[in-house]
């Protein structure tokens, strides 16, 4: 879904300005998995997005949409093609020592705080490990940095001497956040960081991430399937379906006036906090049988309320076009109202 020069111009001056000041700029990112020597599956197709410094940018979509595959590719945990520029550096081309040096600027917090922490190590040792590996500071400076990080994420000195098994899920995720902060990164990739936590703890972790962003100027790429969380936390959102971005825009517009048929379906299925209110229903029932995205044309064609038998949806992948309120929408007919069906 790469945009040419004409497409970039059509996206508007505001989008161009954002891209020129982007901390992370992703162009044509494609992730391919090999099922066998001859069978290759594209799970992410030609994805474009940019994240400005200090921004919280969300990737939302159902399971299998490609969200976590994008995160893993950005962290060099899986191979990918395309162009990724991070803090002015061509990111995907980095290897070996240059990559290890630059990787300090982009860190990741994983979904499962139980599996992502070594149970044999104390909390202090876990937070200190990135400093030891990168040989940052003296022994005393490392100890002081660990104490600083414990306080920053709301853990006590006593908890720092324990092992992860002695702490709750929310406290373990705070350890993972402190560990990600140890190298003073500019960008943190958050891969479903609260989905395995109790609802009562989720808000605490989200509030901590918000406070850290305001206090030290962090930038976030937030992978999430819960649209209520995305609306609360993110400045801008990209909606994925079938490994492609179908709509990008400010959170308020995506949730208030979604333009892509899939975005409309997602938002209409999201509960409102006030039980007396209801969201407008999308033009298609959410009980549709899930169909694998086709190899040609629009990835959403089999479930779309706007297709109405038109061949263009089957033969031509829609390029992103500007909507009226700052969105970019990859749909040939998003200006039309969906028919009930």
Q: What is the pLDDT of residues 309-320, one digit of tens each?
A: 788 999 999 999
Q: What is the CATH number of the domain that holds 65?
A: 3.40.50.300
Domain count within the chain:
1
Residue 180 domain-assigned (yes or no): yes
Q: Which residue has the higher pLDDT, 39 or 164?
A: 164
54-113 residue pLDDT tens? 999 999 998 888 999 999 999 999 889 999 999 999 999 888 888 888 889 999 999 888
Residue 222 domain-assigned (yes or no): yes
The rounded distance, in Å, linking the Cα atoms of 279 and 136 is 52
Residue 7 domain-assigned (yes or no): no
Residue 3 domain-assigned (yes or no): no
In degrees and rounded to multiples of 5, residue 70 shows phi and psi of -65, -45
CB under 8 Å to 328, separation ≥6 — which residues? 11, 15, 247, 248, 249, 320, 321, 322
pTM of the shown model: 0.86
156-209 residue pLDDT tens? 999 999 999 999 999 999 999 999 999 999 999 999 999 888 888 999 999 999
Residue 340 domain-assigned (yes or no): no
Residue 179 domain-assigned (yes or no): yes
Domain housing 30: 21-283+290-329
Residue 341 domain-assigned (yes or no): no
Neighbouring-strand partners of residue 117: none
Mean pLDDT value across residues 264-283: 67
pLDDT band at 35 (very low <50, low <70, confident <90, very high): confident
The rounded distance, in Å, linking the Cα atoms of 14 and 1 is 20
Closest CA to 228 of 266, 174, 278, 189: 266
């Amino acid at each position: 879904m790469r945009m040419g020069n004409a497409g970039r111009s059509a996206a508007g001056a505001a989008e161009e300005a954002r891209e020129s000041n982007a901390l992370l700029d992703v162009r044509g990112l494609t992730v391919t998995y090999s099922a066998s020597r001859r069978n290759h599956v594209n799970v992410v197709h030609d994805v474009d997005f940019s994240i400005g410094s200090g921004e919280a940018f969300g990737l939302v979509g159902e399971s299998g949409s490609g969200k976590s595959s994008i995160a893993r590719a950005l962290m060099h945990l899986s191979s990918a093609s395309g162009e990724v520029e991070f803090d002015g550096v061509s990111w995907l081309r980095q290897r070996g020592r240059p990559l290890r040096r630059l990787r300090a600027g982009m860190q990741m917090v994983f979904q499962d705080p139980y599996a992502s922490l070594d149970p044999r190590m104390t909390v202090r040792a876990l937070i200190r490990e990135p400093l030891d590996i990168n040989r940052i500071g003296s022994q005393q400076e490392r100890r002081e940095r660990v104490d600083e990080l414990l306080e920053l994420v709301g853990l006590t000195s006593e908890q720092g001497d324990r092992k992860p098994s002695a702490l709750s899920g929310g406290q373990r995720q705070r350890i993972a956040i402190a560990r990600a902060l140890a190298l003073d990164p500019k960008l943190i990739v958050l891969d479903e960081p609260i989905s395995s936590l109790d609802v009562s703890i989720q808000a605490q972790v989200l509030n901590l991430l918000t406070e850290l962003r305001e206090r030290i100027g962090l930038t976030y790429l937030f992978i999430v399937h819960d649209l209520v969380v995305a609306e609360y936390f993110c400045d801008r959102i990209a909606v994925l379906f079938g490994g492609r971005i179908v709509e990008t825009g400010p959170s308020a517009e995506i949730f208030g006036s979604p333009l892509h048929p899939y975005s409309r379906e997602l938002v209409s299925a999201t509960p409102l906090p006030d039980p007396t209110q209801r969201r407008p229903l999308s033009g298609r029932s959410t009980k549709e049988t899930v169909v694998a995205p086709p190899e040609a044309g629009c990835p959403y064609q089999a479930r779309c309320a706007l297709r109405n038998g038109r061949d263009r949806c089957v033969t031509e992948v829609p390029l992103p076009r500007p909507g009226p309120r700052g969105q970019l929408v990859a749909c040939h007919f998003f200006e039309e109202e969906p028919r009930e069906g």
